[in-house]
Amino acid sequence: MELPPLLRRAVDRALSGAALTDLAAAAADLSQRYREERRDGKTHVASDRDALAYLAVRLPATYAAVRASFAAVAEARPDFAPKSALDVGAGPGTALWAATECWPELADVLLVEASPVFRAFGERLAAEIGQPRMTWRTSDITVDEIGGDPRDLVILAYVLNELEPDDRHRLVERLWPLTADTLVMVEPGTPAGWQRILAARRQLIASGGHVVAPCPHAKECPLQPPDWCHFARRVARSRLHRQAKGADVPWEDEKFSYVAVSRKQAPASSARVIARPRKGSGRVTLKLCRPDGSAGDQLFSRRDGAQFKRASRSDWGSSL
């Protein structure tokens, strides 16, 4: 997946002139913090150098994961056309770009972010977008009131992993009344990220929410550790991205877990492909999560006719 051209250009402009050695050192710090899931009360993005490293090496991946999660919501709920959104822990506004691409009718977005440096970069990147109307706020979401009227779409992308467990629970509890329609949460696609998504999913179902995606049911997740529910998107790496990471490969696979919970039920749920399809000649095996709450492999062969065709065209994350 590539960034939308306008965002690519805005990111490239922000990065032009950044010293590669600085960027590489900051990118290494950032990766180390994310790998260790370090929560020491400090924002990961305290300086221009940190923000630029995020733009170079993380934004393309978080964009791809959030965009894919939104696409699954749009597919499950074709009637959903959010006019207003709230992006919590917005960083440089990654989800804003993904949301406006998925739902161009979005008219009004509130972005709340703890780091003033990140917020400033986000505002600069988005300066060229005419629509939607954007309001940026620097605020600590664990203590400050978010307030305002409920918004059609509420987004929490790659934020739960930066909060303490109690703060996560409280934040999800506070975000639900601010959700007029759908709350989308995305986390790194690690077993720990999946556990955070599972906890939020349970919490929201108990509050009366309907799971829109990826699960085709609201029963307990059928997967058991060491297995975990996650998806992947292949992300193109720019030259600077490769240099900052000291990598040769022109792409990387971003793994992510997500859940979208809505006040409205999706019209119909179909099975979701929850692993990379295994394709052979005349046959394909899909690992499916099914509407009856079960999960497992299913083999499709030419004899299955139209079903086989659909299965062959499906990908990891598709609904069947």
Ligand X SMILES: C[S@@+](CC[C@H](N)C(=O)[O-])C[C@H]1O[C@@H](n2cnc3c(N)ncnc32)[C@H](O)[C@@H]1O
Give the footprint of ligand X on this chain (CB under 6 A).
43, 45, 59, 62, 66, 89-91, 94-95, 113-115, 118, 140-142, 157-159, 162
At closest approach, how far in Å is the CB of 279 from ligand X?
32
Angle between the N-to-C axes of helices 116-125 and 48-57, in degrees from 0 to 180, rounded to the nearest 10 = 50
144 within 8 A of 171, measured Cβ to Cβ: no
Query: Which CA distances in Å does 307 have to 29, 132, 312?
Result: 47, 41, 9
Nearer Cβ to ligand X (59/284) = 59
- Residue 138 pairs in a beta bridge with 113
CA distance 109 to 87: 7
Integer distance in angstroms from the first to the last C-alpha of the chain? 21
At closest approach, how far in Å is the CB of 301 from ligand X?
40
Tell me the three state secondary structure of residue 206.
Answer: helix
Nearer Cβ to ligand X (89/209) = 89
Tell me the three state secondary structure of residue 92.
Answer: coil
CA distance 37 to 283: 40
At closest approach, how far in Å is the CB of 91 from ligand X?
3
Nearer Cβ to ligand X (67/77) = 67
At closest approach, how far in Å is the CB of 281 from ligand X?
40
User: How many other CB atoms are found less than 10 A from the CB of residue 88?
Assistant: 23
Nearer Cβ to ligand X (113/181) = 113
Nearer Cβ to ligand X (140/315) = 140
At closest approach, how far in Å is the CB of 16 from ligand X?
21
Nearer Cβ to ligand X (115/318) = 115
At closest approach, how far in Å is the CB of 95 from ligand X?
6
Residue nearest to ligand X (CB): 91
Residue with tokens 């994961």: 65
What does the block give as tokens for 148?
């305002």
